[in-house]
Structure 1
Amino acid sequence: MQTLLLKVDPQKPNEKVIEIAASLIKQGETVAFPTETVYGVGADAMNEKAVEGIFAAKRRKMDNPLLVHVNSWEQASGLVTEVPGEVLVLVKEFWPGPLTFIAKAGDKIPAPVRAGLPTVGLRMPDHPVALALIKAAGSPIAATSANISGRPSPTVAEHVKADLSGRIGAIVDAGETGWGIESTILDVSKTPFKILRTGAVSWERLEKVLPGLISKPAGVHKWKRITPRYQPLVQIVPIKYGEQMAEAVEREILKGRRTGAVFISEQKLPTSLDFVRVIRGGPQEYARVLFDIFRAADQNRLECLFMEMPVERGLGVAVADRIIQAARP
């Protein structure tokens, strides 16, 4: 399969280019496109065969559900049943934006989208290109991150090309994404609402809007990893915030291993490191560059990458989660 590369302006996408991508969606093809979080790969959510193409392209297990991307709450509400009234409060506050709702699915949603579950994930991306594509396609788009399953999520079209070129119909290139980390997934199918995946919208922001109605997520070290996620080839070594890593780094260098370090606090590190990134812009900067760091480490053929985690508060929880999950057991 030849993958078509379509470049557009992220704020004012060319209608003709969007129509080309939308026509592929209508024909049952898979198309990668930018959102405000990461690049997604999607297909017509109502076309079961097209949806199965997403799983094939990503080498993703069919028991892992997709998210349905919509361009309005009106479009979303026709796909679910029994939505609590409080959800509308969250919709008003966070949509369009990086918050996904898990709600009881209506009859319209094909089984592969839901992975056979009685619920479905709904999201309205805050990106002009994604919204224009959904509108032009004339149907909700089932999608997930545009990478080979288990690999770091893509934040630029080059990442998508590296993983999926020749496996999907087209890539819509609108430059770098904004948040750099995926949406928060919130289960609203039962109360209290529960965060299933931390992401760009923190628990603190949700709690401020609906006090006492959303369970606080456990610390990232207590979470179980069901399947490998976000993993680069390099060995990731998580380091607690403020903990000095110099001795551990030196030991790896003495073993002759290509070693790197990513840090936030003041660190006294060997000058012989093969890769160094300093994060000074807080959790937002860390989230934006995290997956790029993973891929850059692999490009630099690192064997070991020490990563200082942010404080587990706000967006820092999601960043720490990705680092922990990227670390091999």
Structure 2
Amino acid sequence: MQEQIFKHRETQILTVKEMKQDREAIIRAGQIIRQGGLVALPTETVYGLGANALNPDAVKNIFLAKGRPQDNPLIIHIEDASQAERYAKNIPPVYYELCRRFCPGPLTIILPKKDIIPLETSGGLETVAIRIPAHPVARAIIHEAGVPIAAPSANLSGSPSPTTAQHCVHDLWGRVDAIVDAGECSVGVESTVISLAGEKPILLRPGAVTPQMLKEFLPDLMIHEAVTEKLKEGVRADSPGMKYKHYAPKAKITILDADSREFTEYVNSQKKEGLFALCFEEDVPFLQVPYISLGKDETDQAKHLFAALRELDERGAQEVYARCPSKQGVGLAVYNRLIRAAAYQEHTLDGESEA
């Protein structure tokens, strides 16, 4: 049924290289969303699959297009902090403090929802996840649509998130009405998600806004155990990216917690057909197997992770040893995505599992 619904959609590419010159593409994208259609659009984090967050039927089509479980909540994207009052209630003062510091930007804040937000959008929860994206094209499309835009990552569920329009084309061609091409995303991993809907603030998904940054405003911020561990059976997923295996290429990935010398020596000793290394720039001179480098630092690693996971498939990787990123700063976001891509397979070099 899912294939019958989506294989006949006439997908169009809407290119935005310059905001004023390509204004018609932005207007068209907003129109499609306002009328109940699906548009893959750029944000600073990853490309999102956008639909009218207030239209239950449009939201259902997001889940169908992605093959995404319907109890996985969606994030709604708005233009400015004050618009949250239309969709959320019991908004604490710290929400506005966080928005002044981090928004527009890669931060999502969960609040108790108003009834205007359908349960289809909230994944059946009585909360709503709100973000104000920094990408000028995303903001312009929200404005033209005139509605909040529900937008999970614009990929097939379980596959690596898209950071270019071409990734969206690969996954969603024929399943969506339009793909807006505005170049590569600057951050590369999804937004940080925190909840202010409970007794204490809690970080549910790490991103470019780090726990250290947030604790200036939320000194009692807790970090959910599912950030680094598999969500326990029967536990409700309060945020996107918590419950299901995500971001995975076809290859089997194993994370190795090791320094550069230990990592490269071990990977070289395992050399065989189809083996790749997912490494850092400092490892490259010492590797004797095919590799993909994530770059020099945590910012590089975040920006290049999802493209690297897709490249592993393109190059026919069958087994991958990935060097474990830092679990501090933006590195925590990289680790959070990588451990899910690896189906929680992480090992020290003595063979003892760490996850």
* Displacement after TM superposition at 1:222 (Å): 3.6
Calculate the aligned-residue CA RMSD, in Å.
1.9
2:243 aligned residue = 226
* Displacement after TM superposition at 1:13 (Å): 6.5
Alignment check: 8 A CA contact 2:295 2:304 kept? no
Alignment pair present for 1:253 and 2:271:
yes
* Displacement after TM superposition at 1:279 (Å): 2.1
Write the mapping of 1:38-57 to structure 2, written as runs, cut at 5 A: 38-57=46-65
Identity %: 37
Deviations 1:108-162 (A, max 9, x none): 0011001111001000000110000000011111110000001110000000000
1:138 aligned residue = 146
Alignment pair present for 1:306 and 2:321:
yes
With 165-174 and 231-240 compared, the bigger mean Cα shift is at: 231-240
Write the mapping of 1:162-311 to structure 2, written as runs, cut at 5 A: 162-208=170-216, 210-216=217-223, 218=225, 221-224=228-231, 226-242=243-259, 244-254=262-272, 256-263=273-280, 265-266=282-283, 269-271=286-288, 273-277=289-293, 279-280=295-296, 282-311=297-326
With 302-311 and 314-323 compared, the bigger mean Cα shift is at: 302-311
1:55 is paired with a residue whose SS is helix
Deviations 1:175-206 (A, max 9, x none): 00010010001000023200111112100010
* Displacement after TM superposition at 1:246 (Å): 3.5
* Displacement after TM superposition at 1:276 (Å): 3.6
Deviations 1:50-78 (A, max 9, x none): 11110110011111111111001122221
For 1:141 and 1:291, the matched residues in 2 are separated by: 23
Alignment pair present for 1:319 and 2:334:
yes
* Displacement after TM superposition at 1:262 (Å): 1.4
2:14 is paired with a residue whose SS is strand
TM-score, length basis structure 2: 0.86
With 224-233 and 77-86 compared, the bigger mean Cα shift is at: 224-233
* Displacement after TM superposition at 1:241 (Å): 4.5
Alignment check: 8 A CA contact 1:12 1:128 kept? no
Alignment check: 8 A CA contact 1:220 1:324 kept? no
Q: 2:90 aligns with which of 39, 64, 82?
A: 82
TM-score, length basis structure 1: 0.93
Alignment pair present for 1:128 and 2:164:
no
* Displacement after TM superposition at 1:269 (Å): 3.9
* Displacement after TM superposition at 1:266 (Å): 4.6
The residue type equivalent to 1:292 in the other structure is: A
The count of residues paired between Structure 1 and Structure 2 equals: 325
Deviations 1:263-316 (A, max 9, x none): 355577443x22342621x10010000001000111000112222122211101
For 1:283 and 1:16, the matched residues in 2 are separated by: 37
* Displacement after TM superposition at 1:11 (Å): 5.6
Q: 2:164 aligns with which of 138, 146, 156?
A: 156
